Amino acid sequence: MRRKLAAGNWKMNGMKASLAEIEALAKAHPDPACDLLICPPATLIAAAAEICQGTGVKIGGQTCHDRLAGAHTGDISATMLKDAGASAVILGHSERREDHEESSEDVRMLAKTAQSAGLMTVVCVGESLFQRQSTNTLDIIGAQLSLSIPDSSTGENLIVAYEPIWAIGSGLTPTKDEIGEVHDFMRARLEHRFGYGVGKSVRLLYGGSVKGSNAEEIFSISNVDGALVGGASLTAEDFGPIVSALEKA
């Protein structure tokens, strides 16, 4: 049985004062029936990890470099994330694929390095609106999956997040059938590539305008093992109802 996961991606949001939200989340869910992960900006990782020690909340990074150390000004390595107390890292988010021109091949290198450093990797895939309207979405997702995910992946070090780019921060969400179609397809692809056991154990998250009001419906979809939440993960008040819906799913 895959343990469900509610993950929050704070993106470039959050100051020291925002650590109170993580503390409140941990307090509100002292013994959560699902895994909880918050990925704050890098500046808050060490302090957040300290606060979360002994709680059900884990802390993650939002990206890392494909080398573990060296002359790379401004970058952060997987081992640094680990050293700061992170146990996971989001890789290949569409905002990084676009803003930093990260290709799927780049994402695979990052994931390979992060996995070798002992981090859980949350690899993001998703189609643009243009791709959904003009081509076969499953072809896009299939190509991203095969190119972005390293062979070193297992059920313990890989999570895949399906985030349709047009649903991120837009208030738009795909229909239940559309999400189900992509998640069933991703499950079949992973089983085909890694074998039934590993393919079955990789958790698949949906991301894109998840809120307290639509969480229950999204979590009822087959092969949706949780969510990667942006805006609604920034406060305990908004994230709490999503966590509660997942605990009940």
Ligand X SMILES: O=C(CO)COP(=O)(O)O
- By CB under 6 A, name the binding residues for ligand X: 9, 93, 163, 168-169, 207-210, 228-232
Please check if 157 is assigned to a binding site: no
Please check if 207 is assigned to a binding site: no
Q: What is the DSSP letter of 9?
A: E
- The number of angstroms, rounded, from the C-alpha of 4 to the middle of its chain's C-alpha atoms is 12
Residue 29 appears among annotated catalytic residues: no
Nearer to ligand X, 171 or 195 (CB): 171
Report the relative pairing of strands 57-61 and 88-91 from DSSP bridges.
parallel
CB of 229 to ligand X, least distance (A): 5
Radius of gyration of the chain, Cα coordinates, nearest whole angstrom: 17
CA–CA gap between residue 198 and residue 203 (Å, rounded): 10
Question: Which of 110, 106, 105 lies closest to 90 in space, CA to CA?
Answer: 110
Question: Which of 192, 187, 247, 183 lies closest to 215 in space, CA to CA?
Answer: 247
CB of 42 to ligand X, least distance (A): 16
Please check if 223 is assigned to a binding site: no
Element (H, E) at 91: strand 88-91
First vs last C-alpha separation in the chain: 13
Nearer to ligand X, 9 or 144 (CB): 9
Nearer to ligand X, 146 or 170 (CB): 170
Nearer to ligand X, 85 or 231 (CB): 231
29, 65, 93, 183: the active-site residue:
93
Residue 93 appears among annotated catalytic residues: yes
Residue nearest to ligand X (CB): 230
Assigned token pair, 75: 């970058």
Please check if 169 is assigned to a binding site: yes
Assigned token pair, 6: 């509610």
CB of 209 to ligand X, least distance (A): 4
CB of 166 to ligand X, least distance (A): 10
Instruction: Indicate which residues carry an active-site annotation.
Output: 93, 163
- Which residues contribute to the annotated binding site for substrate? 9-11, 169, 209, 230-231
